[in-house]
Amino acid sequence: KTIEFTGALHATVVKQVRLKNPSVKNLVYNATLVGRDAADFSLPKGNTVTIAPKRQTSINVEFTSRFLHPAEAVLLLISKSVGGIDGATLTFSLKSEVKHIEPTDILKCKSPCYEL
């Protein structure tokens, strides 16, 4: 599955990934961001996700664009064994696109165009 982050340059975009636990025991995942632009993505609530039995939870993934080129990374959710229960390893492709640029400031300059 691909999660797309679209916004302005230097803006922070937050997306949620919903995880479900169909089993009768807790599932614990360790979340890791890998790839060329992994440093531009973050997990503000930490890298460990616990999902109660027969419940669902959401994790937030934040992206702050620093450049105009599209950023790419992968979110890996690797299960930790808890009481003999292992969940499937989950992968999500993270991609970004800068749609517009907001000026941070406007400067007015005055200078002669031509001088002898």
**Amino acid, res. 16:** Q
- Residue 105, both tokens: 């400031």
Q: What is the pTM of this model?
A: 0.80
Share of the chain above pLDDT 90, in %: 55
Mean pLDDT for 106-114 is: 85
For residue 84, what pLDDT is reported?
A: 63
Annotated domain spans of the chain: 2-100
For residue 85, what pLDDT is reported?
A: 65
What does the DSSP 8-state code read for residue 91?
E
CATH class in words for 2-100: mainly beta
For residue 83, what pLDDT is reported?
A: 67
* Nearest C-alpha neighbor of 23 from the set 55, 59, 48: 55
Question: Residues 50-94: pLDDT tens digits?
Answer: 998 899 999 999 999 989 899 999 999 998 877 666 778 999 999
* Nearest C-alpha neighbor of 3 from the set 58, 50, 49: 58
